[in-house]
Amino acid sequence: MIFVTGGAGFIGANFVLDWLAQHDEPVLTIDKLTYAGNLANLADIEHDRRHHFAKVDICDRAALDRLYAEHRPRAVLHFAAESHVDRSIHGPGDFVQTNIVGTFTMLEAARAYWGTLDGEARDAFRFLHVSTDEVYGSLSPSDPAFTETTPYAPNSPYSASKAGSDHLVRAYHHTYGLPVLTTNCSNNYGPYQFPEKLIPLVIANALAGQPLPIYGDGSNVRDWLYVGDHCSAIREVLARGVTGEVYNVGGWNEQNNLSVVKHLCALLDELSPRADGKSYGDQITFVTDRPGHDRRYAIDARKLERELGWRPAETFETGMRKTVQWYLANGEWVRQVQSGEYQRWIETHYRTND
Question: Tens of pLDDT along 101-122?
Answer: 999 999 999 999 999 999 999 9
Is there a domain that residue 199 lies in?
no
**Residue 127: which of 183, 76, 173 has the closest Cα?**
76
Question: Tens of pLDDT along 165-186?
Answer: 999 999 999 999 999 999 999 9
Is there a domain that residue 126 lies in?
yes
Helix, strand, coil percentages in the chain from 3-state DSSP, rounded to 5: 50, 15, 35
Give the residue-averaged pLDDT of 78-92: 81
User: What type of residue is 234?
Assistant: I
CA angle 9, 12, 14 (to 5 degrees): 100
pLDDT for the residue 184 = 98
pLDDT score of 354 more than 50: no
Mean per-residue pLDDT of the chain: 93
What is the number of domains present in the chain? 1
pLDDT score of 245 more than 90: yes
pLDDT for the residue 271 = 98
pLDDT for the residue 344 = 60
pLDDT score of 2 more than 80: yes
Is there a domain that residue 269 lies in?
no
Is there a domain that residue 305 lies in?
yes
Is there a domain that residue 332 lies in?
no
Is there a domain that residue 51 lies in?
yes
Q: Quick one: DSSP state of residue 282?
A: G
CATH of the domain at 174: 3.40.50.720
Is there a domain that residue 129 lies in?
yes
- Domain extent at residue 125: 2-186+227-251+296-312
Asked whether the beta carbons of 59 and 34 are under 8 A apart, the reply is no
Q: What are phi and psi of 45, to 5 degrees?
A: -115, 20
pLDDT for the residue 292 = 74
Question: Tens of pLDDT along 185-208?
Answer: 999 999 999 887 899 999 999 999
pLDDT score of 30 more than 70: yes
With b for 16 or more beta-carbon neighbours within 10 A and e for fewer, the 244-272 pattern comes to: eebbbbbbbbbbbbbebbbbbbebbbeee
Is there a domain that residue 320 lies in?
no
Give the residue-averaged pLDDT of 131-147: 96
pLDDT score of 309 more than 70: yes
3-state secondary structure of 222: strand
- Active site positions, annotated: 133-134, 158
Q: Give percent of the chain with pLDDT exceeding 90.
A: 84
**Would you say the C-alpha torsion 315, 285, 339, 274 has a positive or negative sign?**
negative
CA distances (Å), origin 219, targets 97, 226, 306 = 32, 21, 31
For every residue of 49-88, DSSP letters joined together read TTEEEEE--TT-HHHHHHHHHHH--SEEEE------HHHH
pLDDT for the residue 341 = 58
pLDDT score of 84 more than 80: no
Question: Tens of pLDDT along 276-293?
Answer: 999 999 999 999 887 778
